[in-house]
Amino acid sequence: MSFAPPDPSAAIRLANDPAFAADATVAVADVSVWFGPKVALSELSCSFGPGVTGLLGPNGAGKTTLMRAITGLVGVNQGNVRVDGRDPRRDRRVHDTMALVPEDEAVPPGLSARRFVEYVADLHGVRARNAPDEALRTVDLLDVADRRVDAFSKGMRQRCKIAAALVSDPRVLVLDEPLNGADPVQRVQLIALFKRLGAEGRTVIVSSHVLNEVERLAQRVIVLIHGRLAAAGGHHAIRDAMDDRPRHVFVRADDGRSLAALLVALESVAGVTFDVARGGLVVQTGQARELATALPGLARDSSIRLLEVRALDDSLESLFRELVR
Amino acid sequence: MTVEVMVGRRRSRFVAIFLYTLRSCIPPKRWAAVLMPCAGALLFGLLARAVDDTRDVAFANVAAEGILSLMMPIAALIIGDAVLGAEVRGGTFHFTWLSPAPTWQIVLGRWLGGALVALVTIAPASAVAAVIAGSSSSAGPAFVAAAVGSVTYVALFIAIGCITQRTAVWSLAIVFLVERLLGAALTGIAQISPTWESRATFVGLLDDPPSRLVRNGIPQGWDAVIRLAIVTAVSLAIANWRLRHIKLSGASD
C-alpha cells in the first residue's frame, strides 16, 4: 500500500521532494515527539519505500525516536505514522509484517540463540519449523545457536537480534545502528545482507551516524538533526554537500614553513595557519578534493616529507552544521 | 539459495509466552531472591514453636502477621516484577511487544508463568511452615491463603509494572503504606487488599481461628478467595489496557 497524499497538488510536491519515497510503505506525516521539555522529533515528514533507506544523524538527532515511532514503541504527540496504512500504536497486525532490530545490547537472559529466535518465531506464528535455524544461518550464528545469547559479544548479540527480526520474513525492517560491534568481515556480510533484503522489495530502514557506512548501504538517505529533517536524497547529494563546504585540514610536515608558502599559492586553499600546539599547519579549503590531489605532488616536488594529513572537521556533526546553517 | 521449508505446527503464541516467562524472566538470581523469603517463612514456622501458646494459635498469629503480611508480598513482588516490570526496564520486553500477539495473551501468559512460580515456592513454604510449627491442621489453609494471595499479588505487580517503571518502589508503597497502614484502619481498603483478604482466607478456613485475627466487614474463607479472584481479574484487565498504550524506551534511556 502506498502513502496517498490528500490532494493532487500535494502529490506533485511529494513526488519532487526527496524526503518522500515514490511507493511508500512507511509514511511519517508532520510528526512531533517530546519527552517532557525535550523535543525529540519536530514536525518531521518523510516516507520510506522498498529498498534500503539510510537514516543519518549525529547522536541525539532523533533517529532512534523516529524508529520507535515507526514501530509503535512510542506514541507521537503530534502528526501520525502509518505502516501499510495502519497506525503501529493501535493496530497490532502491523507487527505481522514489520520487525525492529534495536540498538540496545539488551537480550533476554537465560536463553540460547536458538530458543530466542524460536520464541520470536512462535510469537509471529511462523509455521516453518526450520525458519529459526535458517535465520541463524543467514547471520552466520548457526554454529553457536545453542550458546546463551546473553553471553555473546556485542556483535554476536546484534546478529542474533537480526536473526530474530528476519525469522518472521518482514516486509518492513527497521534496523537501529545494526553494524555496531560487528567486525569488518561481519560488516561486509551484513551490508550485503541488508542490500539483498532491499533488492527483494522490502522496506529496509537503517540508522547510522557514520556517513561512509550509510553510503555503502543505502541508495537513499534521510538526514536528521535536532529532530528535524536536515536533508534527503541520494548519498551522492549528501556527499557533494559535504565536499563543497569549507573544510579544515591538518598537515604536519618536516618543513612546515616552506609547505605553508607553497600551499597559500594554491587556488584550492583559502588560508593557512600554524597550529603551534600540534606542530603543524591548518589548511582551510573549499575544494577538499583538489587539495587532496595537489598536496602529495607539491610535497614531492619540493622534497618536503608529509608526516600527517587529516581532516579536522570531517565528522557528521560538521556536515550537519553546514546543512542547517 | 534453496531452502527446504519444513512446515509443521509450532507452539502457539500463548504457550510461547508462558514458557518464555519461566525460562527467561526468572533467571537463577531471581529464583534465589524468591527462595529467600520462602526460607523466611520456614523460620517463622520455627518461631511459632517458641511462642507460649497452643501450636495452632501460635502458628495462626505468626502466619497472619509474618508469613501472609510480610513474606508473601515480598516474594510475590520479586516474581511479579520479574515477569514484566524488570523486562520493560531492561529493554527486552519489546521483543514480545513488537509481535502480533494480542496484549491479553501477553498479560495472561506472563501472569500464569509468575503464578506457577508462586505456587511452587510461596504456597508450599507456607504449608511447610505450618508443619514445622507443629500445626499440621493449618497447613491446608496456609497453602490456600498463600496460593491465592500470591497469585493475586503477581497480577497486581504486573499491572504496576505496566503503569510505572519504578515497580518495586510503588509496589512496596502500596503493600506497606496503603494496605498495611490504611488497610488496618479502613475496611474498604482491606476488602480489596491481597494481604487482608489472604489473611481472611486463612482465618476463615481454620477450624478454630483465634478471635483477634477475625476481621469483621471483609469476606472470610472461600468468600475471600472469590474476592481475590476479582482483584486478580481487575488487575489483569488494567495491565492489558496499559500494555496497549505503554511507551517502551530502551535500557539505555
Which parts of chain A are beta strand (E)? 26-35, 38-48, 51-56, 78-83, 98-101, 172-176, 203-208, 220-225, 228-234, 247-253, 269-275, 280-285, 306-311
pLDDT at A287: 79
- A125 and B24 in contact by Cβ < 8 A? no
Per-residue pLDDT band at A10 (split at 50, 70, 90):
low
- Chain B residues whose CB is inside 8 A of the A63 CB are none
Per-residue pLDDT band at B138 (split at 50, 70, 90):
very high
Per-residue pLDDT band at B9 (split at 50, 70, 90):
low
Q: Which three cell numbers stand for residue A178?
A: 545494526
DSSP assignment string, A45-107: EEEE-SEEEEEE--TTSSHHHHHHHHHTSS--SEEEEEETTB-TTT-GGGGGSEEEE-SS---
Report if pTM > 0.95: no
Per-residue pLDDT band at B7 (split at 50, 70, 90):
low
Calculate what percentage of chain B has a pLDDT beyond 70. 95
CA separation for the pair A96, B15 (Å, rounded) = 18
- Torsion from C-alpha of A247, A250, A254, A257, nearest 10 degrees: 50
- A122 and B251 in contact by Cβ < 8 A? no
Q: What is the pLDDT of residues B91-119, one digit of tens each?
A: 899 899 999 999 999 999 999 999 999 99
ipTM value for the complex: 0.86
Alpha-carbon gap: B163 to the closest alpha carbon of chain A (Å): 14
Which is it for the CA torsion B54, B56, B62, B64, positive or negative?
Answer: negative
Residues of A with a Cβ under 8 Å from any B Cβ are 64, 68, 71-75, 89, 92-93, 95-96, 98-100, 102-111, 115-116, 118-131, 134, 164
How many Cβ contacts (< 8 angstroms) between chains A and B?
A: 108
pLDDT at A6: 46
- Which among A104, A118, A124 has the least Cβ separation from residue B99? A124
- Which among B90, B95, B102 has the least Cβ separation from residue A120? B95
Q: What is the pLDDT of residues B35-73, one digit of tens each?
A: 999 999 999 999 998 888 888 999 999 999 999 999 999
